[in-house]
Amino acid sequence: MRRTLLALSFAVTPALLAGPAFAQVATDRSVGVVLAGANDEGAHAADQYWGMISDALRKDAAIRVADKAVMEPLAGNKTITPQAAGAAMKVRYVLTGSVSAGSHAFKFDMKMFDAKDGKQLWATTFQSDEDNILIVPNEISGALIPVIKGAAL
């Protein structure tokens, strides 16, 4: 009787380690934005304003904001965890928000999470009428930037 020994080997490449089971969040002052609508009008506003919020955050050179092409597929996602969002966007912090709109009024319920452990670091609500809605992204970034800069890495 003849026996054959079969030996298999493989190398663990960076591509294998980049899979979902090995995803890691960034360790820098980076943030990604995920907005979802609380109602139909809010969904339209969320689609429009997440990019404006990320642009306002980009104005601070000390903070890296995820690329829009990476954030866009997550826009409107109400079920993704901060850890999964952080890994997908390769950011340390995740800004989530729920936008309600109606009767010419907008309400942004915003929260920021540490993507490393999912802990909520900040939360607040911004309200605006349609005449002043364009200043809300700057108000959000103005309130959030000191939180990001003060958060422990």
Mean pLDDT, residues 99-127: 96
Per-residue H/E/C for the chain: CCCCCCCCCCCCCHHHHCCHHHCCCCCCCEEEEEEEECCHHHHHHHHHHHHHHHHHHHCCCCCEECCHHHHHHHCCCCCCCHHHHHHHHCCCEEEEEEEEEECCEEEEEEEEEECCCCCEEEEEEEEEECCCHHHHHHHHHHHHHHHHHHCCC
**Number of domains making up the chain:** 1
Rounded CA separation 121/113 (Å): 5
Any domain includes 12? no
Q: How would residue 8 be classed by pLDDT, with cut points 50, 70 and 90?
A: very low
pLDDT at 118 over 80: yes
> What's the token pair of residue 93?
């912090």
Q: Please, is 136 exposed, middle or buried when counting C-beta atoms within 10 Å of its C-beta (0-12, 13-18, 19+)?
A: buried
CB 78 within 8 A of CB 49: no
Q: What is the mean pLDDT of the chain?
A: 87
pLDDT at 152 over 70: yes
Q: What is the CATH number of the domain that holds 46?
A: 3.40.50.10070
Any domain includes 119? yes
Any domain includes 86? yes
* pLDDT per residue as tens digits for the range 47-95: 999 999 999 999 999 999 999 999 999 999 999 999 999 999 999 999 9
Rounded CA separation 59/74 (Å): 22
Any domain includes 142? yes
Any domain includes 50? yes
Q: How many CB atoms lie within 10 A of CB 140?
A: 22
pLDDT value, residue 25 = 85
Any domain includes 6? no
Any domain includes 5? no
pTM metric for this prediction: 0.83
Angular region, 145: left φ>0, alpha ψ -120 to 50, beta rest: alpha
Any domain includes 18? no
pLDDT at 125 over 90: yes
CB 94 within 8 A of CB 31: yes
- The range of the structural domain enclosing residue 92 comes to 30-150
